[in-house]
Structure 1
Amino acid sequence: MDPTPVQETDWTSWLGDGGLMALAVVAVGLLLFLVIRFKLHAFLALIVVSLLTALVAGVPAQNVVPTLVSSFSETLGEVALLVAIGAMLGALVETSGGARALAEAMIRLFGERHAPFALGVTSLFIGFPIFMDAAFVLMIPIVYAVARRLTGNVLAFGFPVAAALSVMHVYVPPHPGPVAASGYVDAEIGVVMILGLLLAFPTWYVSGHLWGKHVARKYNLPVRDLFGTADEAEQVENPPAPWQVVLVLVLPLVLILFNTGLNTLAGAGLIEGEAGWVHALRMVGETPIALLITALTTIVLFGFRRGRSGTAIETTVDRALGPICSVVLITGAGGMFGGVLAATGIGSAIENTLAAAGIPVIFAAYLIAVAMRLAQGSATVALTTAAALIAPAVLASGAGTVELACIVMATAAGSVFAGHVNDSGFWLVGRLLGMDVKTTLKTWTIQQAIESVVAFTIVLAVYGVVQLF
């Protein structure tokens, strides 16, 4: 997906590189001011700032609205499909009792002593299709039940879970941040997904498992009766088998690998890239089709085969769409902002400035995302805005497929850095685990910083190896 459909124009901004750079700084500052100071919804704030940026830069009046609308629709067309189907898939896994069944199986496999590790690994699987907020609320009753039965310290089990869900939400498609960022810089979703999955476990192991063990030793928070006692927990009738949950979580990855693998083979000349069967398998491996097939498979396995009616299944998937509408619209508006930056020439000015300053694009992407994250809180907004800002420079750099994926992951790493009181996830994790603000700052905010630095270090290593060859 090209986020700059209106980049080629027959006009030149009256501002030079310096003026365009100043405009970019003012635009971002205004965006943050509207969101933080006036509490204006990020969707509206992005539209307002995009419009004002276009006008100040001198975009001809007849080009302003087409620039805004085309950039918005280009982003929304892909992101909305992926996020909506992913949300439906997550709702089916949650309401069927499949998530609970998988968690219990992991604990049996690893043993009680390694229950925190088991819950964290389970959350890595569950976090693949489910948004962090929904997945954490889903996992918390399991965390409470296990903590009550074992050590009694909720942090020992809740922290690995929260960290795992954060890692998956930030780095792995079909979550909206990495999907949108991939679109902005023309990175292949399949390669981004593979790289995200490769760095997910080591990043979680350091920032979630090891840091979680330290946090549990330092703070002992008892289990509250927020969800009742274990005996009072409502059991879902006839839940799916754990292997069925693993199947539906792995299926989209396998299908997407058809696309990526065939592209690699065709590029190496090992298969005929224009053959009909190759195009057919590539279509199956396109992310929206892969998720659609997975969602339909889940409806059959977790719905009809368990005796649920079509009406009940329809209600489940319909309810899944409401909570994600805001995220989808914000992501589309972020694409609008990126399109305006490209059309005005701000992107080229950023590219020239970075080149003059000698800052590599991958470092610039990380630092811009860090600044956005610290200022306004939302990792998704930080990731999409930073990707939009850096996209023209990335597209002009001639980076290869893996390098583009590394730049996306570097931006994602910056977008999660040190979440604090302006981040909704900060309050969600703190309140559900029973922490006060001070404790949450000392534990969760540091976890987010560790997660960011570890992931960025891994990405830099991969980026460096690729450039050597």
Structure 2
Amino acid sequence: MDQPAPTLGTTPLLLIAVGAVALLLLLIMWLRLHAFVALILVSVLTGVATGLPVAELVDTLLDGFGSTLAEVALLVGLGAMLGKLLEVTGGAQVLADSLISRFGERRAPLALGIASLLFGFPIFFDAGFVILLPIVFTVARRFGGSLLLYALPAAGAFAVMHAFVPPHPGPVGAGNLLGADVGLLVIVGLVVGIPTWFLASYLFSRWIGKRIDLPVPALFGRYANDPAPQPGENDEDDGSGSGSTSTVTETTVTTGAPARAPAFGTVVALLLLPLVLILLNTGLNTLATVGAVPEDATWVVSLRLIGETPIALLITLLVAVVVLARERFSRDEVEELLNSSLGPICSIILITGAGGMFGEVLQASGIGTALTESLSALGLPIIVAAFVIALCLRVAQGSATVALLTTAALVAPAVAAAGMSPLDVALVVISIAGGSTALSHVNDSGFWLVGRFLGMDVWTTLRTWTVMETLIGVIGFLIAAGLSLVV
């Protein structure tokens, strides 16, 4: 829908934005109001305070909530089902054992991070993080210590790939707006992203994990303090948190005979399947754009369809049901198993949608426009101004992709006028990506997604996820700015 023009000046809008974030933190952290309710309440108050027409306020709220759920709910729901299957059939344990045997116990977080970098190339942050989460939990339960030691390298790897490297929508869209060479952007994104991940995510996780002892939550069918299952051992938690026994979480067939754990190759193939399908979609999109294949041909359209992320995850889930569950559970047990995987994530999905609602209200209020107009007059170097504008937009409205695309559109005339080299243009895209990644907080749906999945309260999420995202953004920008000076 068309956004209404802002009715307030820059200063009042900025003060309202600061007040809205402060009120949200107060409601959640001090008054202990549920985050879902608090986000809706503050979204309404912010819309009224910024002068959004009453007739359009509800539509703005619903647009923000619905558009966020459209992106997140399918991915999280299908990913949680796949994660449940990997967990209860022993697939996550098999993959964890293999990774640890190759890297060693001390390098288990590094192994998880490297795996996430690989899977994060074509898979969006939400889907990839949810798919690998049961593996992270399995490794964390096996070796002990804070969950942050294992979860942050994985989450940070997906965040870096999502922000810096095509084919993710943010860098692709920003690159197109600035006229960047996509192939070069992939190379530059990896050159900047990999050391950024190592410094900002892996090393940070080792530091913060020694200071915050975060237990493993019971999202995928096992309580935080339960030991990892031994081969043939039954798992009695149904994932609902009630502690009741459920036959669907047993890794035995209906006859009671122990079911053999899936092979390592089977588990890897299942994780690679969505990656291959999504890469197929990306490759065909590129070939169709350059005219190498007919864009409207039936076979091209069909293959691109199965490579769309939700469809790719759906296909992977159906294959996993056949491959992992057919010899272990009856049809009724498979249905109950998949159903039980959705209960723990309902709150996460609703809070994530409400976070998108809050971001939509902040965006519709005109705060982003006021910020960019003020910053454009500062006279900073293009690569620095791009980072600052993206950072302010990220703080104001929450969405990294919106911050990326909006900033790219704003600086595109300056980039074109400067006659920058293809490498410098790619570095400006990375700088924008850094600014749009830093300072993730309560108006970012990813903040709630990670915090709730890892069982963290708001304050702990600010100390961990927000700090890590800020390190990723700042370090990525510094590397890009440094390269722009020497190459």
Question: Normalising by structure 1, what TM-score?
Answer: 0.69
State which of 77, 86, 91 in structure 1 corresponds to 2:79: 86
* 2:398 aligned residue: 385
* One-letter code aligned to 1:96: T
**1:356 alignment partner, one of 364, 372, 377:** 377
Question: Which residue is equivalent to 1:319?
Answer: 340
1:309 aligns with 2:330: yes
Residue 453 of structure 1 pairs with residue 471 of structure 2: yes
Give the aligned residue type for 2:54. A
Amino acid at match of 1:319: S
**What amino acid is the match of 2:303?**
L
| Cα distance per residue 1:20-75 (max 9 Å; x no partner) | 22222222222222222222222222211221122222222222212211222122
Offset of residue 428 of structure 1 = 6.3
**2:440 corresponds to:** 415
- 24, 27, 31: which is aligned to 2:20? 27
Residue-pair matches, total: 412
Call closer, same or farther: CA 1:468–1:217 in 2, change over 3 Å.
closer
Judged with a 3 Å threshold, the aligned counterparts in structure 2 of structure 1 residues 50 and 116 are, in CA distance, closer, same or farther, namely closer
Counterpart of 1:346 (choices 361, 367, 389) is: 367
Match of 2:152 in 1: 163
The aligned counterpart of 1:257 is 279
* Alignment map for 1:217-236 (pairs within 5 Å): 227=226, 234=233, 236=251
Partner-residue secondary structure (3-state), 1:308: coil
Partner Cα distance (1:295, 1:356) in 2: 51
Q: Secondary structure at the match of 2:128?
A: coil
Aligned to 2:143: 143
Distance in 2 between residues matched to 1:329 and 1:195, nearest whole Å: 36
CA shift in 2, pair 1:397/1:460, >3 Å: farther
- Name the CA distance, whole Å, in 2 between partners of 1:324 and 1:404: 34
Please give the secondary structure, in 1, of the residue aligned with 2:52: coil
Q: Residue 313 of structure 1 aligns to which amino acid in structure 2? A: V
Q: 7, 10, 15: which is aligned to 1:14? A: 7
RMSD: 5.0
Distance in 2 (CA, whole Å) between partners of 1:238 and 1:300 is: 15
Quick one: distance in 2 between partners of 1:108 and 1:453?
Answer: 31
Q: CA deviation at 1:285?
A: 1.4
Structure 1 residues 428 and 465 mapped into 2: Cα distance closer, same or farther (>3 Å)?
same
How far apart in 2 are the matches of 1:97 and 1:206?
A: 32
| 1:247 Cα deviation from its structure 2 partner | 1.1
| Structure 1 residue 229, shift from structure 2 partner | 9.5
Provide the rounded CA distance (Å) in 2 between the counterparts of 1:200 and 1:342. Answer: 28
Determine if the alignment matches structure 1 residue 130 to structure 2 residue 130.
Answer: yes
Judging changes above 3 Å, is the alpha-carbon distance between structure 1 residues 100 and 17 closer, same or farther for their aligned structure 2 residues? same
The Cα of 1:100 is off from its aligned counterpart by 1.0
Deviations 1:271-319 (A, max 9, x none): 3333332222221111111111111111111111x33212222222212
Give, as a single letter, the amino acid of the residue that structure 2 aligns with 1:302.
L
Q: As a proportion of its length, which structure holds more helix?
A: 1
**2:314 alignment partner in structure 1:** 292
| CA distance in structure 2 between the partners assigned to 1:123 and 1:65 by the alignment | 38
C-alpha deviations, 1:410-456, integer Å up to 9, x for none?
A: 5445439xxxxxx9689969xxxxxxxxxx99xx9689856752564
Instruction: Encode CA deviations 1:375-413: one digit per residue, 9 max, x unaligned.
Output: xxxxxxxxx735498478437437699977875565445
1:52 aligns with 2:45: yes
Output the amino acid matched with 2:287.
L
Q: Does structure 2 retain, via aligned residues, the 8 Å contact 1:86–1:291?
A: yes
Which residue in 2 is equivalent to 1:101? Answer: 94
TM-score by length of 2: 0.66
Mapped to 2, the partners of 1:273 and 1:395 lie a distance apart of 27
> Structure 1 residues 392 and 349 mapped into 2: Cα distance closer, same or farther (>3 Å)?
farther
Gap regions ≥5 residues in structure 2? 120-126, 176-181, 212-223, 235-250, 252-258, 413-424, 442-449
Provide the C-alpha distance between the structure 1 equivalents of 2:439 and 2:385, rounded to a whole number of angstroms. 15
Structure 1 residues 90 and 230, CA gap change in structure 2 (3 angstroms) = closer
Cα distance change, pair 113–391 in 1 and its aligned pair in 2 (3 A) = closer
Answer yes or no: is 1:240 the counterpart of 2:262. Answer: yes
Equivalent AA in structure 1 for residue 42 of structure 2? V
Structure 1: gaps spanning 5 or more residues: 145-153, 219-224, 373-383, 417-422, 430-439
Q: Deviations over 1:250-285 (max 9, x none)?
A: 211221112222222233333333333222222111
Q: CA, structure 1 residues 38+361, in 2 after alignment: closer, same or farther (shift >3 Å)? A: farther
